[in-house]
A and B are shown apart, each in its own frame.
Chain A
Amino acid sequence: MITPLHLDVRQSAAGGETDFELSLAVPSDLEYVGPAVELIAARFRTGILSPRRVRFNLRTALAEALANAIAYGNRHDPGRQVRVWVEASREAVRIHVTDDGDGFDPEGVPNPTLPAYLEREEGRGLFVLRSLVDDVDFNQKGNSICLTLRAG
């Protein structure tokens, strides 16, 4: 049984309809990934991103980032939360997903499309995510990822 998530929406004082911020705290339980993704994607039904980029790129990339943060970052610890902060402007949507873990080295993740890794069950998340957004940045510690989708 999951409890409803609360999405905090703030309209930027300076900007128009395309400029706003969202924040959401997500419990460290994979059951929340689907609902959290739908809650955020719903805010972009109209706006700077094409319907396909919202439906496919944003939803899939955000699901990957949340699953990684819950499973690998917070290690499913119910005492920890994943924090999502979205900055939307006329130029781009930036989605920050932060966990309470020790971080990791994204460079150390092997390419899952290489023959040696193709039949593995795990290890595709970061690759999929990188393929679907315009930019992926990590903080130095490696516990916060920023996904950038530019207008279009």
Chain B
Amino acid sequence: MGGEMSFTLQKDKRGVVVVAVDGQLIVGNRQELKQKVLDALEGGARKFVIDFTKTGYIDSSGLGVLVSLSKKIREQGGDLRLAGLNEDLQTLFELTKLDTLFSIAQTPAEALAAF
């Protein structure tokens, strides 16, 4: 079915957590992403990259979850960055002015290098 999706977390050797969003980030699965990132934050991680290279679409609830996670991570002295947005997703961030709230890199490698 179309709602199947997954989030994969990988920590690089400097401790930056890269979260790959495979499929969709929407109202039906946003809590799963939130929980995974909050667990990593709880476990001491502070630097996060959300990789949208394999993401089909995001809805406003997905955007909302990114806003709330970014806030929580910043409160802990960390940072959440976005990477790999396709043209559609970039448009969505621009429409909602969320491109002004996040640092957005072309690729996960660029986002990692900027930390």
Seen from chain A, the residues whose Cβ lies within 8 Å of a Cβ on chain B are 2, 30-35, 37-39, 52, 55-56, 59-60, 63-64, 67, 71, 112-113, 118-125, 127-128, 131
Contact = CB atoms under 8 A, between A and B. Distances in A.
A67 B64 CA distance: 13
A67 B2 CA distance: 16
Main secondary structure of the interface of A (DSSP, over half): helix
A63 B71 contact: no
Given A112-B96, A119-B71, A56 B59 contact: no
Given A52-B88, A113-B97, A124 B28 contact: no
Nearest to A62: B59
Contacts, number: 90
Contacts of A113: 96-97
B101 A118 contact: yes
A127 B56 CA distance: 20
B67 A128 contact: no
Given A64-B59, A113-B97, A121 B28 contact: no
Nearest to B5: A34
B59 A31 contact: no
Interface in B58-115: 58-61, 63-65, 67-68, 71, 87-88, 91-92, 95-98, 100-101
Contact of A67 (B27, B95, B101): B27
A60 B1 contact: no
Contact of B26 (A33, A118, A123): A33
